[in-house]
A = this chain, B = another copy of it.
Amino acid sequence: MGHGLTRGRLAADAGVNLETVRYYERVGLMPEPDRTSGGHRDYRPEHRQRLVFIRRARELGFSLDDIRALIALSEPGRRTCAEVEPIAAAHLFAVRAKIEDLRRLEMVLDDAVGRCAGGTAPSCPVIEVLGGR
């Protein structure tokens, strides 16, 4: 009955899990599509574009709240850059902080694991780092 895309097709096309589509609709990230006479969702190409947008933004680590804002700002007729930049810059900042955190923790782990590899010591360097015994 529908002449557009089914939910399964849309999800596959955009590279997103089937259930995730319904979730995005529920939280207001995806607009409610038309329905077939039988009640099945009937998507159009703009839905696919929107879903790909969301997927890419998620891959870049933006939160769903950020993505809501980015979607609003990507509507035609907006002078976007000035409004988009702070969101992206804040996220970039957070990403860099996360990298720093992980690097510090990589060093501690690497050191402990390196000393661990030695052999059958009576106490383990990894456990020691954690304050055990």
Measured CA separation A36–B98 after assembly (Å): 43
Is the C-beta of A109 less than 8 angstroms from some C-beta in chain B? yes
> In the complex, what residues of B have CB within 8 A of residue A22's CB?
none
Q: Beyond A127-B70, A131-B49, A131-B56, is A61–B117 a contact (Cβ under 8 Å)? A: no
Is the C-beta of A30 less than 8 angstroms from some C-beta in chain B? no
Closest to A106 in B: B95
Measured CA separation A117–B59 after assembly (Å): 22
> In the complex, what residues of B have CB within 8 A of residue A125's CB?
81
Residues in A31-67 with C-beta less than 8 Å from chain B: 49, 52-53, 56-57, 59-61
A residues lining the B interface (CB < 8 Å): 49, 52-53, 56-57, 59-61, 70-71, 73-74, 76, 79-82, 84-85, 87-89, 91-92, 95-96, 98-99, 102-103, 105-106, 108-110, 112-113, 116-121, 123-127, 129-133
